[in-house]
Amino acid sequence: MSATVRIKNIQIGGGNRIAVQSMTNTDTLDTHATADQLKRLQLAGCDIARIAVSSEAEVNACAAYIGKFDMPLVADIQFDYRLAVKCAEIGFDKIRFNPGNIGDESKVKYTVDACKAHGTPIRIGVNTGSLEKEFSGMSKSDALVASALKHVRLLEKFGFYDIVISVKSSDVKTTVDAYRQLAAKTDYALHIGVTESGADERGVVRSAIGIGALLIDGIGDTVRVSLSGDPVKEVAAARLILQEAGLDKDYCEIISCPTCSRCKYDLKSAVDELKAATKDIKKRVKIAVMGCVVNGPGEASDADFGVAGGASGKAALFERGKVIGTIDVADIVPTLLKMINDKIADDGNN
């Protein structure tokens, strides 16, 4: 089990719930646009939000965001250690930087001392694009791990242990190999993700393969799905990955079959309507919408309840795989919604 790190009002590592992260892509100096995006991220379920800070003017702008959101805010620093120091001083909840980009050890120590003084954790973020030349003879995954551990030892040299590590690549296999190695060599909390994964479906699939493989291995304490475009979509994708990995069970899960010629009703429309009606439910409920009774109730026997289409506009209604009645296909959605609401009410009273 990884070590616990407190970031403002949440704890990561140590068996705590896996936190979802994202990053603003507005102009940091545009306080209206950035604050609005941070609000949208928080409403979408983002647990930790990162902001790029590249100048003293941007540090000053960030003072407008500190303390205004329930979710912790992380300063993303590249190259200038003085900005990291100032970000710790104004109250950022965590600093992310690559010590290899900061400069000599004295500058790293200066940064570490500031973070110590203000109780600010540090994420060591190593990407394949920022690897030192000394690791050029290694495979990319080996080099990522070697670089990260080198920087960990440097922070430990200065008596700093409030550390989170990430080792990312845009290549899924490199990313997974690196994190598996790292998890075997350290118990520091790990932030996982596939960097520069792209946009839309391909970016989500690439991230889901890499992040999902690690989560199923029990690796990862925070996650980010890195997508080009609106970062709110990153949060939605991350939540889905956590749900499908079995690590977030507080939602209404809908399973449905791919259908074949035996399906005699508009299954897809029923699923879409149910998804829209249950999207805000934060309780564990599993329902099944199946095309026919050939194997519907059996395949979905672990669902709380569900339906399987039949002939003449009828559908079998079942609970835990046992058929309990027959309803008109026109009543599928209202019947299931009532059963969902009744279950949630019953669970709340028990």
Residues 60 and 174 in one domain: yes
Residues 312 and 331 in one domain: yes
Residues 195 and 66 in one domain: yes
pLDDT band at 154 (very low <50, low <70, confident <90, very high): very high
Residues 239 and 294 in one domain: no
The tokens 């400069």 sit on which residue? 103
Domain holding 287, by residue range, is 252-349
Residues 119 and 258 in one domain: no
Give CA angle at 239 (30, 188), nearest 5°: 85
Segment 316-341, tens digit of pLDDT: 999 988 999 999 999 999 999 999 99
Residues 54 and 173 in one domain: yes
**Rounded CA gap, 54 and 320, in Å?**
56
Segment 33-85, tens digit of pLDDT: 999 999 999 999 999 999 999 999 999 999 999 999 999 999 999 888 899 99
Q: What is the pLDDT of residue 107?
A: 87
Q: Length of the chain in residues, anyone?
A: 350
Residue 16 DSSP class: P
Residues 28 and 126 in one domain: yes
Q: Which residues have a Cβ under 8 Å from the Cβ of 297 and sit 6 or more positions away?
A: 290, 306, 308, 316, 318, 321, 322, 323
CATH code of the domain containing 329: 3.30.413.10
CATH code of the domain containing 165: 3.20.20.20
**Rounded CA gap, 124 and 190, in Å?**
10
Q: How many domains, the chain?
A: 2
Residues 161 and 177 in one domain: yes
**Rounded CA gap, 160 and 154, in Å?**
9
Residues 123 and 76 in one domain: yes
